[in-house]
Amino acid sequence: APWPSSSAPGGGGTRRGAGGGEPCAGYASVMVVPGIVACVLALEPLQSAGNAPAAAAQAVPMPAAAPATAPAPAPAGPFLDFQQRPAVTVDLDAWVPRLTGTAKVGAGGTTFELNHDLAVDDSVPAFAGEFAVWLDRWRVGMIGFQSSAGSTERAGVGGTFGTTVITPGDTISGTYSAWMVGVEGGYVLWRPFADRPLPWDGAGANRDRATSVLGANGRPRFDAQVLVIAGAMCFDYQQQLTDVTTGSSSSFDKFVGCIYGGVGLDLWMGFGGRVPLVQDVRLYADVGIGPSIPDADILWMIRAGVCMMFTPNVGIELGYRLFDFNLQSGPSDVDGGLRGLFGGLTVKF
């Protein structure tokens, strides 16, 4: 760059070195380098100021991320299990039994057929009922029945009943009366579709099946229970025969107790509206057997039926009941049974 002229007296227009009129390069270099340095130093604070926000942003601590939380477990759905609140069932039935078997009454008595020789072969509606409370695996309740019948007819066979001698063709009149009342307990040993099928199973042992077996209405589509049964009962049997032709009359009377055991099976099928008017159908069978007291003769019974529930609380049932007994009193022996169909009302609450 050209250098400025000097206006001092005696001064020339240019500054020359010793060798003549060339500009002084050393002076220019000295002046340019300090100028560059000054520009760099002037720009450095501006760069520092421009980078300050970023630095400040880097220096500001960021809030810590919230720890991840595990999702709350979904609530457990309904499943089939034993009831923790008592449930009560009441069965009130009309039973139409027929007396069968044999009877030999008195020393030297004749063995007669009960169902057609002694005028006690009529089938007359009788009462039979059951009451049970269900809680967890237990079922405890009462059972009983009362039956009686009689008729008058011509004797078809002859023989001796007690002290009454019967001649074929005589007019005879016969009656019998029987009643039983007992207490019974049951315990569910196996319920294959429940959450706890066996008594020693813990909660959840069968949860998948116990959940899938329930229908849309919350009631089981199918359920099965196998029970052991134990009970005690009293039984009374009376029979009388009169030969109207001769006026002679004899009777047999025996009262016994009994301790018995057995097994039971309960099957439930839920329809949930698929069949009109029917909510559930129950199939059941109970068998009990034990010795009479004090004679140690055998008494045994069978109850089997089907129950149709029209609402969760009310239904009807139909079935078959058998009560078989062997009674002895001195020289007399009655080996009989009451068997027949029954039907009635079932209430559950």
One-character DSSP codes across 230-241: EEEEEEEEEEEE
pLDDT of 197 strictly over 70: yes
Cβ neighbourhood burial of 329 (10 Å; 0-12, 13-18, 19+): middle
pLDDT of 11 strictly over 70: no
pLDDT at residue 12 in the model: 43
pLDDT in tens, 94-128: 999 999 999 999 999 999 999 999 999 899 999 99
| Tokens, residue 288 | 């009990």
Average pLDDT over the chain reads 84
More confident residue, 63 or 184: 184
Contacts of 197 (CB under 8 A, 6+ apart): 190, 191, 205, 206
| Residue in 25, 140, 161, 127 with CA at minimum distance from that of residue 88 | 140
Q: How confident is the model at residue 78 (pLDDT cuts 50, 70, 90)?
A: confident
User: How many whole angstroms separate alpha carbon 312 and alpha carbon 239?
Assistant: 43
291, HSE (Cβ side, Cα atoms, 13 Å): 4
| Residue in 333, 275, 321, 340 with CA at minimum distance from that of residue 91 | 321
| Residue in 284, 348, 345, 343 with CA at minimum distance from that of residue 126 | 343
| Tokens, residue 316 | 């009807």
User: How many whole angstroms separate alpha carbon 247 and alpha carbon 266?
Assistant: 52
Lowest-confidence range among 29-33, 271-275, 276-280, 323-327? 29-33
More confident residue, 341 or 116: 341
pLDDT of 48 strictly over 60: no
pLDDT at residue 278 in the model: 87
